[in-house]
Structure 1
Amino acid sequence: MRVAIAGAGAVGRSIAAELLENGHEVLLIDKNPSSISVERVPQAEWLLADACEITSLDEAALQRCNVVIAATGDDKVNLVVSLLAKTEYGVPRVVARVNNPKNEWLFNEAWGVDVAVSTPRLMSALVEEAVSVGDLVRLLRFSQGDANLVELTLPPEAALVGTRVGEVEWPQDTSLVTIIRGHRVLTPSKDDVLEAGDELLFVAAPHREEQLEDLLSLQRSAADG
């Protein structure tokens, strides 16, 4: 897979190193000469250019990329790069970094963004995920398709504890994608039985989140307990 990363700062270089380690082809683009540190990620391709300029993106052969990551520290730049990548070059997958949470509403399909990653929001969500039991936590927003990755840790008193996955009437527009149980990561099947303490990860439409949380937080009656 070929990936172009706009922004060769600490974030861009870290992403590049991870992708290269996983066997992908990576191009780092930055207009600041001081950011061109080939020795830090020698396996990557490097391009000194302004990623907001069509001529620069032509030179980068963006049409050959499977993924473009807009990872600069400037939200305006990340939006422009995302829009150009999607509309001018038809890049299948565009991921954009959100630096200021107040701008997150802009990072959507209209600007060519498939996945928006807000570091402050993600850190906050991970803190909530670590300490919250029985509350739905939004981990990631997928701009394309208007869906979120959400998590809930099943409390011991939840009505669904002891229920098979296939017996649950999940809300429409939601999909249980993973069950994290202790050190195990399970791909859910209809015969898996839900247990107290299970971390359930769903992809869900935003308007279904409240309904999903109500279902998962529903407690057993005293008679059942």
Structure 2
Amino acid sequence: MKSIIVGGGKIGYNLFKILKERDHQVTLIERDKETCLNIAEDINTDVIWGDGTELEVLRDAGIEEAEIVAAVTGSDEENLVICKIAKLSFETKRTIARVNNPKNTKMFKKLGIDNTVCSTEVIANLIEYSLDTDDYRIINTLEKGAMLLVELSMKEYCCWCDQYLRDLVLPQECVFVSVLRGEQIIYPRGATKILHNDKVLIITNKNALTFLVNAIFSKGNRKWKTRKMKSEV
């Protein structure tokens, strides 16, 4: 599968280098001649010197055979133009655009860009979700923070302890992934029983997590019937 990266800054350079190390067929386009020479010398491969918004430059890079185009320049406008050219002029299957201003993300998606990556938004979400507690911790964020992979630590007073999964009524925005019991990994089914000291992995979102934490770890809820645990989120 051939891919093209437009933009040889820190993001484009590191992306290009990683894909090359993994033996992917990838071409880099960069408009600054000196940057091109430095990258080509460092990675020992050919780099296209030119403007990624020009059709001939894209053709020279082999866009007609490329399945993915990633525009990662420092300009949102330029990244949008590159992706639109790839879609409209060359029918590229998938386009990825770097978005420097988070406010542009929705617009890019409405204009048909397949994927957007906003480092500002990702960092903001990482900071927001970095305050873990003894009750839970955020293992990873997905879809730029819209989804969370969370580990819940079951205490004696948790209302989930000694309950079967089939008896729990979860928020709609919550899916069980696994139960960690010591060194054992349990892929949960309805008959799986949650025990004290288990670590429960779930995928959820911010609102549902807040609800779950308040419901599960409030000591006053230890005898609360699990069938009442319905989210309003």
Give the match for residue 219 of structure 1. 216
After TM superposition, give the deviation of residue 24 of structure 1 in Å. 0.6
**Equivalent residue of 1:116, what SS?**
strand
Give the match for residue 24 of structure 2. 24
> Partners of 1:21 and 1:165 in 2: how far apart?
44
Give the match for residue 88 of structure 1. 89
> Partners of 2:163 and 2:175 in 1: how far apart?
14
After TM superposition, give the deviation of residue 140 of structure 1 in Å. 4.5
- Confirm or deny: 8 A CA contact 1:65 1:91 kept in the other structure: yes
Structure with higher helix content = 2
After TM superposition, give the deviation of residue 135 of structure 1 in Å. 8.8
- Confirm or deny: 8 A CA contact 1:33 1:48 kept in the other structure: yes
Tell me: CA distance 1:49–1:169, structure 2 relative to 1, closer, same or farther (3 Å): farther
- Confirm or deny: 8 A CA contact 1:29 1:50 kept in the other structure: yes
> Partners of 1:198 and 1:154 in 2: how far apart?
5
Bigger Cα Rg = 2
> Partners of 2:97 and 2:86 in 1: how far apart?
11
Give the match for residue 41 of structure 1. 43
> Partners of 2:75 and 2:186 in 1: how far apart?
38
After TM superposition, give the deviation of residue 97 of structure 1 in Å. 1.1
TM-score normalised by length of structure 1:
0.71
- Name the % identity: 22
Tell me: CA distance 1:38–1:128, structure 2 relative to 1, closer, same or farther (3 Å): same
One-letter amino acid matched to 1:52: T
TM-score normalised by length of structure 2:
0.69
- Confirm or deny: 8 A CA contact 1:154 1:161 kept in the other structure: no
1:132-164 Cα shifts (integer Å, max 9, x gaps): 45698994438xxxx944333425466556666
After TM superposition, give the deviation of residue 105 of structure 1 in Å. 2.7
- Confirm or deny: 8 A CA contact 2:177 2:188 kept in the other structure: no
Alignment of 1:156-195 (within 5 A): 156=154, 159-160=159-160, 176=175, 190=189
- Confirm or deny: 8 A CA contact 2:79 2:98 kept in the other structure: yes
> Partners of 2:174 and 2:23 in 1: how far apart?
30
Q: Give the count of matched residue pairs.
A: 211
Which runs of 5 or more structure 1 residues have no equivalent in the other structure? none
Give the match for residue 228 of structure 2. none
- Confirm or deny: 8 A CA contact 2:154 2:160 kept in the other structure: no
1:158-211 Cα shifts (integer Å, max 9, x gaps): 655666667666666x68596696xx9x79553777776555445x7xxxx645
**Equivalent residue of 2:28, what SS?**
strand
1:119 aligns with 2:116: no
Structure 1 vs Structure 2 CA RMSD: 3.9
